[in-house]
Structure 1
Amino acid sequence: MELSVYLAGEIHSSWREDIKQLVNEANLSITCYGPMENHDRSDHIGEEILGEQPTAILKDEAASSINNLRTQILLEKSDVVIALFGESYKQWNTAMDASTAIAKGKPLILIRPETLHHALKELSNKAQVVVETPEQAVAALSYIFEEE
């Protein structure tokens, strides 16, 4: 068996690499997908494809359409979604991706610190699993592969 996992969350820290390393160390047959982690490329992809835009808002709209295309395809392709909420960044895209996973019936593993329990209580209630660390998320995935 092989699983595809979409890693939703901020793109400013190394948490995705941590997950991938843990998956490799556990020798799990998992392919990970996620948003474009090169922030400049993500911000400029609309103009790269559609041409220069006349305003900053239209530049954002153009980039959003291309980034949303990527997210929709890769999230749809995934068997499981892991959404990480941390303390440092605004998490609107993470909330959107987690909600999309729920709406599509994709199993959701939510990683969030205890301090965000109240803020994320409704989303947590809809997730299949809520954990506080990437290690716990990978342990939950590892359990899927156990035969006994």
Structure 2
Amino acid sequence: MELVVYLAGQIHDDWREQLKQLAEQKGLPLVFKGPQEDHDRSDEIGEAIKGTQPSSIYRDHTASEFNNLRTRIWMNKADVVIAQFGEKYRQWNSAMDASIALATGKPLILIRPESLVHPLKELAQRAQCVVETPEQALEALAYVFE
């Protein structure tokens, strides 16, 4: 059995790559999907498809259409969602993706540092499990295969 894992959350560090490498080392049958990690591509996709927009507001709106399409497709195909919340960046996309996972009945593994226990308490109560590191999230998935 192979699981499709949607990796939601921050795109400003290499947590996804670390998780993928660890899964490969452990020989876990996981396929990883997630948001567009190339920030420029994500910001420019609307204009790449629809052409130059009249302002930055329309540019952002148009890009979000295609980024939301990508997210919706991969979230629907996912067997489980891992949402990473970090210390440094505002995590609007993480919260949105975690909420979508819960609303669509997808199992959710929430990664968040101790400093975010209070602001994420309601979301944490709805997740299947809450961990502090990507490695712990992967151990949770490894347990599924035991």
Q: Same fold (TM over 0.5)?
A: yes
Deviation at residue 45 of structure 1 after TM alignment: 0.2
Q: How does 1:22-101 map to 2 (within 5 A)?
A: 22-101=22-101
**d(CA) in 1 for partners of 2:117, 2:26:** 28
Runs of 4+ in 1 over 3 A off after TM superposition: none
What secondary structure does 1:83 align onto?
A: strand
**d(CA) in 2 for partners of 1:135, 1:40:** 28
Number of aligned residue pairs: 146
- Counterpart for residue 117 of structure 1: 117
**d(CA) in 2 for partners of 1:19, 1:9:** 13
Note the alpha carbon deviations across 1:19-64, whole angstroms, 9 max, x for none. 1011111110000000000000000000000010001100000000
Q: RMSD over aligned Cα, in angstroms?
A: 0.4
What secondary structure does 2:83 align onto?
A: strand
What secondary structure does 1:119 align onto?
A: coil
- Counterpart for residue 127 of structure 2: 127
Gaps of at least 5 residues in structure 2 are none
- Counterpart for residue 104 of structure 1: 104
Identity %: 64
- Using the size of structure 1 for normalisation, the TM-score is 0.98
Deviation at residue 10 of structure 1 after TM alignment: 1.0
**d(CA) in 2 for partners of 1:125, 1:26:** 29
- Using the size of structure 2 for normalisation, the TM-score is 0.99
Deviation at residue 71 of structure 1 after TM alignment: 0.3
**d(CA) in 2 for partners of 1:8, 1:45:** 19
Gaps of at least 5 residues in structure 1 are none
